[in-house]
Amino acid sequence: MSATSEIRNVILVGATGNVGSLLIAPLAANFNLTILSRSSSTSKPTNANNVKTLRADYTLEGLTKAFTGQDAVVSTVGAVAFGEQKVMIDAAVAAGVKRFLPSEMSMNGDAKAVRDLVPVFKTKHEVLEYLKSKEAKGLTWTGLGTGPLFDWGLKAGFLDFDISKRHVTLWDKGDTRYSAITVADLGNAVVGVLQHPSETANRYVFAHSVTASQREVLNVLEGQTRQKWNVEPVTTEDEVAKAQKALATGDYAAAVRLAQATAFSNLPNMQQDFDADEKDRVVNDLLGIEMKSVAAVVEEVLTSERQHDA
């Protein structure tokens, strides 16, 4: 099979995480999916009924055996395991895997300013460079930038909105624009990349569902809830300084705050508005992903929250 021929067999690494768990259903619906977990792990994917699962030691030998017969590896490992993807890549080469999707699927880590701000994105970049070094051995790769999960992020507070308390933490004036993706379109994007192997081979590409600013989201939320929200203003300078200080003391959760800063802050050169900053690498049309309005997605989120509370 050539490196860009049809992909049928896909193995998902990191299926119990926030991103990986969301990809099980769309991948299983379109490919012969296998879920890989560490031999030592006690975690189980909650929505993996009727999906083949394997356990392996994350060594070259163990991973090579697990990857044998697979056309593509999709990695959604968390930050602590970003560096471990290099041995996964070696195993993919040894097993004859044709496509490797590293654990990107978030903010634009291909922007140097982002890597300079958020240390874990430097590790992500090192993985991409390592993948490039394996192209001559027949392994192709795709880096997929999506921005944060928009609907999930609104519910979980990652976008700095607390729906239940009608509260927002507003960065500066809240007018920095960023791209984001819905849960459904994240699945569509990953599936689409694998279904278009030739067009996405050895490229960093972008897919998104909405482009928004905190201020725009706030205006929509206030309009749809018919309530004035409590606004807690913060500055980029303060938030970044606090996060960097916490990270220096070993509080690795602070890396999340720095990741948020890439989207919400007024720092230059973050390149998170994909249509403005990465237009030539946006592949929405190729993958069949249509842009949504902020109002439409917010309405779906609020409806879901009301049903959950009922």
Q: What is the pLDDT of residue 1?
A: 43
- Looking up tokens 């509080």, which residue turns up? 251
What is the mean pLDDT, run by run of 10 residues, along the chain of 310 residues?
Answer: 77 96 98 96 82 96 99 97 97 99 97 97 98 98 99 98 98 98 99 98 99 99 99 99 98 96 98 98 98 99 89
Q: What share of the chain is helix, strand, coil (3-state, %, to 5)?
A: 45, 20, 35
The predicted pLDDT at position 49 comes to 83
The token pair that represents 53 in the structure block: 């699962």
- Give the rounded distance of the alpha carbon of 40 from its chain centre: 25
- For domain 150-180+210-277+288-309, which CATH number applies: 3.30.420.40, 3.60.10.10, 3.40.640.10, 3.90.25.10? 3.90.25.10
Q: Cβ of 251: how many Cβ atoms within 10 Å? A: 12
What span, in angstroms and rounded, lies between the C-alpha atoms of 120 and 183?
23
CB burial of 17-44 (b: ≥16 within 10 Å; e: otherwise) equals bebbbbbbebbbebbbbbbbbeeeeeee
Q: Does domain 9-146+183-206 have CATH number 3.40.50.300?
A: no
Tens of pLDDT, residues 96-133: 999 999 999 999 999 999 999 999 999 999 999 999 99
**Alpha carbons 196 and 161: distance in angstroms, whole number:** 36
* Extents of the domains making up the chain: 9-146+183-206, 150-180+210-277+288-309
Of 290, 278, 106, nearest in space to 184 by CA:
290
Between the CA of residue 107 and those of 7, 15, 211, 273, what are the distances in Å?
26, 20, 13, 10
Give the pTM. Answer: 0.96
Residues 6+ apart with CB under 8 A from 77: 13, 14, 17, 20, 84, 85, 103
State whether the Cα torsion 213-219-225-229 is positive or negative: positive
Per-residue pLDDT at 3: 55
Token pair in block for residue 31: 């490919």
